[in-house]
Amino acid sequence: MGFVEAFNGSVRKLPVPVVYGLLTLPFAWLLVQLFTGGLGIDPVKALEHQLGLTALQLMVLVLAITPLRRILRLNLLRFRRAIGVMAFVYVVLHLLVWLVLDVQILAQVWADILKRPYITIGMVAFALMIPLALSSNNFAVRKLGPLWAKLHKLTYAVALLGAVHFTMLVKGFQIEPVVYLTLVAILLALRLPPMRKLRLA
């Protein structure tokens, strides 16, 4: 049995609730660091940053699932919903830390959304994630029918806006946000018709 067959066989045996549990571990680790002083001199900012980064990483993974299946034959499709839902959870936590622990003043929140482009972009991405999260269940799939797949193409815009948000909020040139933006761009490009024919020899 080859690696691909062994990998896909192992994945099929992994219950989806276990994946949800595994994806809570980054948050649990952040809490441990928060209460043990491991987040540095500005723990609120560090917590806010790491929650947002985890959300972006999960969105990149969501985008990667189809190319991995099409090109490498690695099938993680049954976990895509769980990964997407947990990405939304981390975005909500990221937003709550910003609202409750960082800014705190409602008037300042609205001022920041309107005046700071990277926050505006982040909020647009969050708004687009809401219908995705609300429709990430079997009932919505049945009720929406073909519209469900069209609605969930918003995932592409969310991932791109998230990567742009990250790139804009850092000060000066940093390689990490550029890497994420590049990854998102590549994964979106792989969905273009010419690239969809790509196969490994």
Number of H helices, E strands in the chain: 11, 0
Q: Which of 179, 178, 127 is nearest to 154 (CA)?
A: 127
Tell me how far apart the terminal alpha carbons of the chain are, to the nearest angstrom.
19
**What are the structural domain ranges in the chain?**
3-197
Give the length of the chain: 201
Helices 16-23 and 80-96, packing angle to 10 deg: 30
Residue 16 near residue 78 (C-beta atoms within 8 A)? yes
pLDDT of residue 173: 75
Confidence of residue 183 (pLDDT cuts 50, 70, 90): very high
Average pLDDT of the chain?
89
Cα 58 from Cα 179, distance rounded (Å):
15
Give the type of residue at 139: F
pTM for this model (two decimals):
0.91
Q: Reduce the secondary structure of 111-143 to three states and give it as a string.
A: HHHHHCHHHHHHHHHHHHHHHHHHCCCHHHHHH
Query: 55 pLDDT exceeds 90?
Result: yes
Q: How far is CA 149 from CA 21, 84, 152, 192, in A?
A: 26, 14, 5, 16
Q: How far is CA 162 from CA 40, 95, 177, in A?
A: 25, 13, 10
- Say which residue the tokens 């990149």 belong to: 60
Query: 141 pLDDT exceeds 70?
Result: yes
Helices 43-67 and 25-36, packing angle to 10 deg: 160
pLDDT, one tens digit per residue, over 152-173 is: 999 999 999 999 999 998 877 7
pLDDT of residue 201: 39
Q: Which residue did the predictor score with more confidence, 116 or 19? A: 19
Give the type of residue at 88: F
Query: 196 pLDDT exceeds 80?
Result: no
Confidence of residue 195 (pLDDT cuts 50, 70, 90): low
Query: 150 pLDDT exceeds 60?
Result: yes
How confident is the model over 24-53, as a mean pLDDT? 93
Is the Cα torsion angle 177, 48, 22, 55 positive or negative in sign? Answer: negative
